[in-house]
Amino acid sequence: MEELPADLTSESDAPSAVPVWRSEPYILFFPAGIALAWAGILHWLLHALRLFPDYRPIFHAMTQIQGFMTCMAVGFLFTIIPRRTGSAPPAGWQIGVGLLAPLVTTVAAWRGQWFVAQASWLILAATVIGFAVRRFVGSQATRRPPNAFVWIPLALLMGVAGSVFAGGYGRLGGAYPWLHSFGKGLVLQGMFIGFILGVGSLALPLMTRGEAPADAGRTARDWLARAANLAAAVLLVTSFWIEATSSLPRGMLLRAGVILAVFVFGPELWRLPTRPAWTARVIWISAWMVPLGYLIAALFPTQFRAGLHVTFIAGFALLSLMLSTQVTLGHAGRSDLMLGRSWQVAAIGSLAGLATIARAAMDFDPQRFLLWMAIAAGLFLAATLTWAFYLAPKLLERSMRT
């Protein structure tokens, strides 16, 4: 059996002064993320079945990004960063903020309390920035993360800036409509793109090829790599400004190019997976869906939402489900499953892929909008149910260890 990557396995099964919910906070965050995914999607299914009066697209978008996917990302970061850097796990209050803030944002968004929703999210962003930066540059760390981890604080800063810009639009009485579009793009897209590019620098080569990237150093090459990632972040932000002020296709095309360049020159996504696991192949395909979705949006600007949902569902959401699967199985010591070809992994990938096609059909076949909405929502909820039934016993078993 192939040896498991050190960044995915549990540190120790020996008793520790640190409770498991702090040393392995993913056991709390991943189930919370799945619950918020249901909160963001179930009402779409009920609306399509004519059991609910509306489908609240703004609430849906905020809950999926600032609820579901943020929980999955924070759970991953809170678990992996201390292991990668040899530093302390998150404090109890940080975990509390990380779990409570997405819930508050979701409830406030449902009630239309946008200020409360974004204020709660800004508190979470500040908490995660403080957690990450302290472990990236602090004296307590025994290792440094890869150079591309500079994307993690940049992603959170994009989310903060986007929230401020979107709020500023309201404060200015709607005088600058592009400001709202620009800010919304940074919050709902830019932030998670940054997470994917940062986390992907470690997870993609590790989980698809078993190759852990080198720690960041102080050589000229390391400084050049960090500078290149900062330049890419500037171009990424510029793509949202172009989309908001002048041209949606050009903005989407630039965004696709930035993501593709970072993936090609960073984790070398052009290399095929060498691990035998189904998760390795699904992760690899899902990563390609992120730039592909933006390319589709650029080519079909009148149906750009279809392209966006290729990125959102087959890219962001499926990556979240697969990365969380790898982390859960790795920490549970289930090398047989993590390196195997479980039907559940194939089912999750297939259901998410079919949900993506159905969601795109909502834009390309508007005459059957509600039918495609029901199919898309039902398929994605089925993917999350498969995830839950597959991993819940492993999460529960891990949570019982001390």
304-320: per-residue pLDDT in tens? 999 999 999 999 999 99
Overall average pLDDT of the 120-143 stretch: 83
Domain, as residue range, for 120:
21-145
Question: Quick one: 82 and 110 in the same domain?
Answer: yes
What pTM was estimated for this model as a whole? 0.91
- Which of 91, 123, 145 is where one domain is finished? 145
Question: Quick one: 231 and 326 in the same domain?
Answer: no
Question: Quick one: 222 and 247 in the same domain?
Answer: yes
Residue 12 belongs to a domain = no
- Which of 215, 243, 271 is where one domain is finished? 271
What's residue 222's pLDDT? 84
**pLDDT exceeds 60 at position 3:** no
Residue 1 belongs to a domain = no
How many separate domains does the chain show? 3
**pLDDT exceeds 70 at position 172:** no
Residue 380 belongs to a domain = yes
CB neighbour list of residue 221: distance below 8 Å, 6 or more residues apart:
none
Overall average pLDDT of the 14-19 stretch: 63
Question: Quick one: 215 and 168 in the same domain?
Answer: yes
How far apart CA 359 and CA 368 sit, in angstroms, is 11
Question: Quick one: 81 and 109 in the same domain?
Answer: yes
Question: Quick one: 324 and 246 in the same domain?
Answer: no
Least confident of 133-142, 237-246, 253-262: 133-142
Mean pLDDT of the chain: 89
Overall average pLDDT of the 65-94 stretch: 91
Residue 401 in contact with residue 13, Cβ under 8 Å? yes
- 12 sits in the region (left: phi over 0; alpha: psi -120 to 50; else beta) called beta
Looking from the CA of 160 toward its CB, the CA atoms found within 13 Å total 14
